[in-house]
Amino acid sequence: MNTVAYCRVSTDKDDQLNSLETQKEFFELFTQKNKYNLVDIYADEGKSGTRMKNRSNLLRLLSDAEKRKFELVLIKDVSRLARNTVDFLTSVRLLKSLGVKVVFVNYDQTSSDSSEFTLTLLSAMAQEESHNTSKRVKFGKKLTAEKGRVPNITYGYDKIKGDSYNLNKNPTEVEVIHRIYKMYIEDGHGASKIALILNQERIKTKRGCNWSQNAICRILTNPIYVGRLINCKEEVQDFLTGVRVERDERDWFVHDRPQFRIIDDETFAKAAEILEGRNVAFNTTKTRQSNRHLFSTLIKCAECGYSYRRRVRTYVNTYTDWMCSVLYSKTTGKGQCDNKITVDEGELIQEVENFFKGWLEDMPNIKKKLRADFDHKYKSQNENIKTEKELKDKLAKLNRSRDKCMEMYEDEQINREEMNEKMSNFKNQIERLNIDLMQVQVNLNKGEALENVIEETFKDIESIVSVKDMTNTQLKKIIDKIVVSPDGHIDIHLKLLTEIGVDETLLHCDIKTPRYNDKARKNKPGIA
């Protein structure tokens, strides 16, 4: 009789792998003793018995059974086949329908001779054992998490043998982490580009694998690099499916471990801010971060909102221009956007330089106008709001009146109903005043920030020698976007006041220069 055996161990640890070899030797001796023709041994290493979909060799066994390669399957016990009752019965029923007998050697049970009730009972016991094991593991992890257990594998650190609560920094990997943050924040590279650079330099991850976008993002968001260890952020919701769910933040175990710090708080926060900004930008405009070219992701179409893309064409001379990515997209096809304006890269560079030059020449007037526009906006918003001192004085007076009301109630000068009515009035007035005070303070802070932003922006513009020689990252520090309209107008929007909320119309300039469509360009001298 053609016979196969199936064995499984749940981890790839040495003792488990030894157990797997022991199981294989057992089946070889068992088949020889019973004079079975052993065709194959199917073995899954490091696979949980609660989920069948991940067990490639069990799936191969079932596939071979359909091809009639054997008539008998030997399994040491029920738990080796599955610790999930549904998967167990599904497998046994499939094999039974194919005329394949299953023998559970330790229990002396066969799928053909035993009732399904008996097999189900044995499988349910195996599943319950797995459930109890899961609960014990959870309990143990919770205890170690409360004490601040460190992860087994984290890039930048080496595990200390026998110590579950401390790590040693790896100097080589620490240097790579600093490079990752620098490339992301200062050089403006995206996670994919950083992964590509590291892979080109043959730098491997902690597990000896190539870097990926997700791996870089984990480096940029892991709080262990600022000395904060967080355990139990997730838990297994169902031990049968292995599905993990995020726990409420109040249930996390957070430990401050300053000895683990590699990145300072400001750098870590800046990386998080950039990452969030890029995620929002992609979700709203489907624009991926790029700094490959000078104007990458900076030029926007006023018609559809998508970015312009760079195009290099060679006639008699090489010609570089930018066009709406939607208009000529292979995915959306032509006709999805009406903006047919293309922008010559050389002309745009010249116009940006002229724009910056004009700002520098008219610096005093521009500064004056920005401050006036800022004051007008926020004074008009706050025209009915008193000054900060007046608001604070009024709040103090209301708080004193509220305290006096409480004293009157305690002295039985007023009853509870009168007290509740007065306290409700005080509460409403205090809340309104707090809101007004907060708005005034926010605007005062914005006013202070305005001066810094103006000075920094002009300092950046003054430092420019040539726009052509700038990097995309440097240009993005000054320019928020360049918007191209279907009528050929170009608006340059500076990042000057983005963070303090002044109307965008204060930040852009309208440029009118000759634009060339494809037809006109053919008649341009030097272009065939």
DSSP 89-129: HHHHHHHHHTT-EEEETTTTEETTTS-HHHHHHHHHHHHHH
Tell me how far apart the alpha carbons of residues 460 and 478 are, in angstroms, rounded to a whole number.
Answer: 7
Residues 305 and 265 in one domain: no
What was the pLDDT predicted at 440? 61
Q: Could you tell me which of 41, 55, 47 has the C-alpha nearest to residue 12? A: 47
Give the H/E segment covering residue 511. Answer: strand 508-511
> Is the residue at 406 inside a domain?
no
> Is the residue at 382 inside a domain?
yes
> Is the residue at 395 inside a domain?
no
User: What is the residue range of 70's domain?
Assistant: 2-131
Q: Which residues contact 415 (CB under 8 A, 6 or more apart)?
A: 409
Q: Identify the domain boundary among 254, 285, 316.
A: 285
Residues 502 and 373 in one domain: yes
DSSP 191-204: HHHHHHHHHHTT--
> Is the residue at 412 inside a domain?
no
Tell me how far apart the alpha carbons of residues 14 and 256 are, in angstroms, rounded to a whole number.
Answer: 35
Helix axes 416-462, 345-361, angle to 10 degrees: 110
Residues 453 and 521 in one domain: yes
- Residues of the chain with pLDDT below 50 are 49, 239-240, 284-286, 332-333, 381-385, 503-507, 509, 511-528
Burial class of 190 by CB neighbour count within 10 A (0 to 12, 13 to 18, 19+): buried
> Is the residue at 393 inside a domain?
no
Residues 273 and 257 in one domain: yes
Tell me how far apart the alpha carbons of residues 46 and 55 are, in angstroms, rounded to a whole number.
Answer: 9
> Is the residue at 419 inside a domain?
no
Rounded mean pLDDT of the chain?
75
Residue 188, number of CB atoms within 10 A of its CB? 20
> Is the residue at 159 inside a domain?
yes
Alpha helices in 34-73 (DSSP H): 56-66
The total of structural domains in the chain comes to 3
Tell me how far apart the alpha carbons of residues 177 and 254 are, in angstroms, rounded to a whole number.
Answer: 22
Gyration radius of the chain over CA positions: 35
Is the CB of residue 278 less than 8 Å from the CB of residue 289?
A: yes
Residues 184 and 125 in one domain: no
Tell me how far apart the alpha carbons of residues 332 and 250 are, in angstroms, rounded to a whole number.
Answer: 46
Tell me how far apart the alpha carbons of residues 12 and 15 are, in angstroms, rounded to a whole number.
Answer: 8
Residues 97 and 8 in one domain: yes
CATH number for 233: 3.90.1750.20
Q: Identify the domain boundary among 131, 156, 182.
A: 131
What was the pLDDT predicted at 355? 82
Burial class of 101 by CB neighbour count within 10 A (0 to 12, 13 to 18, 19+): middle
Q: Could you tell me which of 339, 375, 352 has the C-alpha nearest to residue 509? A: 352
CATH number for 111: 3.40.50.1390
Q: Identify the domain boundary among 131, 163, 193.
A: 131
> Is the residue at 238 inside a domain?
yes
